[in-house]
Amino acid sequence: MPFFKNPRTHTSSTRTASKVKKRKRGVPGKINKSVTVNGDNDEEISSDLEEESFRKLNDSFSEEEDEETAQEKRLKLAKKYLEEIEKEEQLRLESSEISKDTIAQRLKADNLQLAGKLRKCVADEYTGYDSLHTHLFRCKDHKLSITCVVVSHDDVNIFSGSKDGVIVKWSAVEKKRLASVPSRSQRSKKREGIVNCLALSFDDKFLASGDDDKRVQIWKPDNLELLQTFTSHRDAVTGLAFRLNSHQLFSVSKDRTVKLWSIDDMCYVETMYGHMNGVTDVDSMTQERAITSGGQDCTIRLWQVAQETQLVFKGHLGSIDSVKFINESSFFSGGDDGQLCLWSVSRKKPLCSLQEAHGKQECNGEPNWISSLATFTNTDLLVSGSCDGFVRLWKCGAGFKSLTKVFDIPLIGFINALHFSRDGKYLVVAVGQEHRLGRWTRIKEAKNGIYYIPLDRSTSSTGASEPVSKVVA
């Protein structure tokens, strides 16, 4: 018997006939269109061709509408952006009327920021810190060392993680604990994995956490609801960073890999290889790239995702534990050799190296370990932490060729994380009795907690903008 059957004898002919009859009878609520075949009126069929022509016309009209809508959207976004800038400048200057020159300067500053050429000189305005209004956040959820901290972009909430495996949300305004995960009732007798890192998206829509259980977890910051768990890493996750103005997330791990995730789609994108040892930190800005510190492989790598390339930087004598962008063209690093280094993305060697930035250990004369860094983005103000009892603020010199100490903040313990508020009015410090990545040393007199430290400034302005078109070594 042949494979293709005669359609007249096949049972499908009866099905087709029944379908035609149904079409003739009509479907309730649907208009039936019919045409005459060969001039005879004895047979009518459904006008599929006519329906297709109508669909094509509708599609062509919808495409034109989409084009118009896209143009209108661009205009609406531009108007909305200008309105937001005007509101922000009104709040900053406390004036109801803003001149066009002010808006033009702001637009120019935003353009320079995207190009990595914006540099605001603000370090000279900082004169010290307000010890009377310094606040210590502590709770029963964080009995062990605090390992990471992040501040919301509206400067209202603080999120912290610890070696207890707990994430806590705090109110920076009311100075109190708001929530924690896992909740006290949900915690089992089994110890939770240490939370090593936290990251917030630019719009405070997603909170990401990485832990010793090889997980990258995505939370809803409002109520700390778990949205997604990624388990692709093969070892502890040690660093996280959201790309600015995007929901792309970079994660690094002790498994020596860098992974990219799309949080909009809640999916994995790609894995990047190159580090020869466990990766300890990651940072990202507006461009589609990330910078990572390779720990004991003594390298810093700049991953250019679109070009699928990586740039390797060498300059430290020991393990590199922390790296942060200053702007799109410069970054800042520190490690267990006690060095603070300033870099340009166009140079393989540091532009400036400051030896023994936090002094030496009394017991063996070795430099104190640089355990954390933070930068007031697109300015000349930097901050570093160690275990020597001080948090130190630094001024970055012209051309990124020098580091000058601004002032010290005395704090006992390991400074495991640092974070400036968006307006630069206060500094958040995560302090622990142990280093965030291990238990090599313990400082018994230290208090495990989060310090909220207001910073004193001589003026309320944000400083003059100094565009830097090229960094010269």
The pLDDT tens digits of the residues spanning 279-334 come to 999 999 999 999 999 999 999 999 999 999 999 999 898 999 999 999 999 999 99
Exposure of 462 by Cβ count < 10 A (0-12 exposed, 13-18 middle, 19+ buried)?
middle
**Mode of pairing for the β-strands spanning 146-151 and 176-181:** unpaired
Per the model's pLDDT, the better-predicted residue between 39 and 73 turns out to be 73
Tokens of residue 362, six digits: 């009394």
CATH number for the domain formed by residue range(s) 123-457: 2.130.10.10
Plot region of 308 (φ>0 → left; ψ -120 to 50 → alpha; else → beta): left
Q: What is the pLDDT of residue 192?
A: 78
SS3 assignment, position 313: strand
Per the model's pLDDT, the better-predicted residue between 22 and 190 turns out to be 190
Residues 21 and 1: their CA atoms lie apart, in Å, by: 31
Residues 441 and 431: their CA atoms lie apart, in Å, by: 14
Residues 148 and 416: their CA atoms lie apart, in Å, by: 7
Contact 283, 260 (CB under 8 A): no
- The Cα-based distances of 181 to 47, 54, 277, 428 in angstroms read 61, 55, 31, 21
Tokens of residue 458, six digits: 């001589």
Tokens of residue 197, six digits: 């890192």
Contact 359, 368 (CB under 8 A): yes
Query: Which segments of 370-466 are extended strands (E)?
Result: 372-375, 381-385, 390-396, 403-410, 414-420, 426-432, 449-457
The string of DSSP codes covering 329-383 is TEEEEEETT--EEEEETT-SS-SEEETTTT-B-TTT-PBPP--EEEE-TTBSEEE
The pLDDT tens digits of the residues spanning 74-118 come to 787 777 777 777 777 767 666 666 667 777 776 776 666 655 566
The pLDDT tens digits of the residues spanning 350-399 come to 999 999 999 998 888 899 999 999 999 999 999 999 999 999 999 999 88
Residues 6 or more apart whose Cβ sits within 8 Å of residue 322: 280, 281, 293, 333, 334, 335, 370, 371, 372, 373
% of the chain exceeding 70 in pLDDT: 75
Give the domain ranges of the chain. 55-115, 123-457
Terminal CA-to-CA distance of the chain, rounded, Å? 84
Nearest to 451, CA basis, from 155, 172, 144: 172
Q: What is the pLDDT of residue 5?
A: 35
The pLDDT tens digits of the residues spanning 225-269 come to 999 999 999 999 999 999 998 999 999 999 999 999 999 999 999
**DSSP character at residue 123:** G
The alpha carbon dihedral of 251, 432, 334, 254 has a sign of: negative
The pLDDT tens digits of the residues spanning 411-461 come to 999 999 999 999 899 999 999 999 998 888 899 999 999 999 999 998 644
Contact 387, 370 (CB under 8 A): no
Residues 6 or more apart whose Cβ sits within 8 Å of residue 446: 412, 413, 414, 431, 432, 433
